[in-house]
Structure 1
Amino acid sequence: MPPPVIATVGGGGTRLYPLTLCQPKPLVEVCDTAIIAVLFRILAIQGCRRFILGSKGFENTLALSNYFKAGEGFFKRLGIDDHEEFSYQPQYEDHGSADSLRYCMRYFSIDEDVLVVSGDNLIDIDLEDFIAYHRRRNPILTVALKELPREESISQYGVAELESDMRIRRFVEKPKAGTEPSRMINTAFYIFSPEIRDVLAEMGDKSRDIGGDLIPYLTENGYDVCGYPLRGYWIDIGTPERLLQATMNVLSGNVRHFTFRHPYRENQWIHPSTLKRIG
């Protein structure tokens, strides 16, 4: 059984304006499904059964809980009966993704490996292989890394500086073109070992953001942090342009595990009302 999933969904989504003026960024739709529901679906069909939403603020939590409720409908549409109810972070004003992780692990008594995902990424990953890699290497943290093609700008990402065995020495945030230590970028898809609870307690208020605070602390203090080379699809849906790109990728059949709620054939999606009129 895969470990529980904590989704960090506390951001304001300002780069996606105006699409996020009246809804949280994870609920913006790719084709006919909210971004975060697409991600959860990909994880659920590969065995994940416990989902915790680390949402920040009353409005975000209310919108997400109205969408998923306890998760019965989500799992029923996938034909899954053996699941736990969705959980939501209590109204705690966290200071970032690492702070949310610390709070949720303690509040929900998680003392095992935990998957931590970002609520605005679309990723297609072989979860069994990812988990097996982590347990074989046994680091405190394994980060899914995506090799960015040469033609894409790397300046907006955290880039991993790697040892020959895929151990992460550090992340270089938003390097200028030509100065990056590799083309392997942080996808914000992680698996943490249970020891991370002690590290987060040790860091206290210094633990705010996973990429900005927690990972540098781990690498600088000698903790084993490994990179996992992601071979499947990944995109950070941070702007309307990236949302359009993700939508076109889905419609072109480039994202495995994506199932449409409405009739679809390759390279074409038809709204049900249009299909009805045609019929």
Structure 2
Amino acid sequence: MKAVILAAGYGTRLQRDVAADSSGRFAHLASTAKPLLPVGDGALINHWVRALNASGAVDCIYVVTNALHYAAFEDWAAGYTNVHILSDQTSNNDERLGAVACLQLAVQHFKIDGHVVVIGGDTLFKEDFSLRAVKERFSDLQAKFGDSCLVLSYQCRDEETHKYGILEVDSDLRVLRMKEKPLPSETKSRRACPCFYVLSKKSLPLLATFLEEKRDSPIEDRDAPGQFVSWLIPRKPVYIHQISGRFDVGNLCSYVECDLYFREKLQNVQSYMV
């Protein structure tokens, strides 16, 4: 199994907050890609690489970034033997390809033909999350349904449904549909879906189909990876794996909260997410 970490975003909200901060405390974060932000004892993305390697979940890690941050990621990856960096060749947010196109770029460039773990490069999970448990759950599903995929789910508050893709599932935890940023009154579900998916090798050819269908659509219709998952649900069996929550580094406030947790509250760095 391979891992693709999506890291081609430009962090516009975070960089706006850093530029607007008058204290100067966060000046060192200026122009830093979100996955390379210092979180606890190292870069945010370090936590993923350490856990992916320690868990044995994957044998190779591919990181898709942009031309602006490519050199920084190359420098960072020099410390790892199984991490490879790919640029999407864009230089600013207006040029962005979108996460689904970046995933397809990695699949084509690295000739990936097996199962893939897809990870949002600006996301970390609470300490109950385990890559080994995810791998076991996916293996069980594959034994029953060879084309099944797996996504994560955690309970969000009523007032948060409009921020996330919300999953509606049946009694077997198979996803029936994903509602994109619904009002609380539009669904009874509070199952938020973060950017972490295990896509079966049989689902990978559908990336090209999705992008072809959305070719003339606005970038917003094919930017977030959840758009592909929502489209995939009626076409392949998609199941959930439940976790307690996540850290989503979207702006300066959420970054500070995440960094503080990893500096002061994380119980065991070495076993985290393994």
**Do they fold alike, i.e. is TM over 0.5?**
yes
* 163-172 or 195-204: bigger deviation: 195-204
Two-structure CA RMSD over aligned residues (Å) = 2.5
Question: CA 1:45/1:212 → structure 2, altered by over 3 Å: closer, same or farther?
Answer: closer
2:103 to 98, 101, 104: 101
CA separation of 1:155 and 1:213: change in aligned 2, threshold 3 A: closer
Corresponding residue for 1:136? 140
Aligned to 2:242, which of 224, 229, 251? 229
**Counterpart pick for 2:61 among 26, 51, 62:** 51
Contact 2:38 2:259 in 1 (8 A): no
Matching residue of 1:171: 178
Structure 1 residue 202 displacement after superposition: 2.4
- Mapping of residues 189-268 of structure 1, within 5 Å: 189-205=196-212, 206=214, 208-209=222-223, 211-220=225-234, 222-231=235-244, 234-254=246-266, 256-257=268-269
Q: Give runs of ≥4 in structure 1 deviating > 4 Å.
A: 90-94
- The match for 1:10 among 4, 8, 15 is 8
* Long gaps (5+) in structure 1: 73-83, 261-279
Larger Rg: 1
* Deviations, residues 166-211 of structure 1 (Å, cap 9, x unaligned): 1112222222244343121112111111112221232343273354
In the alignment, structure 2 segments of 5+ residues that lack a partner are: 19-25, 91-95, 216-221
What is the CA deviation profile of residues 192-239 of structure 1, one whole-angstrom value per residue up to 9, with x for unaligned ones? 11112221232343273354431122124x3211111124x5211111
Aligned to 2:23: none
Would you say how many aligned residue pairs link Structure 1 and Structure 2? 242
TM-score, normalised with respect to structure 1: 0.77
Larger RCO (CA under 8 A, 6+ residues apart): 2
| Gap change, CA 1:215 and 1:251, over 3 Å in 2 | same
Which is further off, 105-114 or 196-205?
Answer: 196-205
Aligned runs of 1:90-129 on 2, under 5 Å? 90-93=87-90, 95-123=97-125, 124=127, 125-129=129-133
- The TM-score, its normalising length taken from structure 2, stands at 0.78
Task: Give the aligned residue type for 1:108.
Answer: F
**Per-residue CA shift, 1:33-78, capped at 9, x if unaligned?**
111112222222212441111112x221111112222x33xxxxxx
1:25 maps onto 2:34 in alignment = yes
Q: Distance in 1 between matches of 2:224 and 2:115?
A: 16
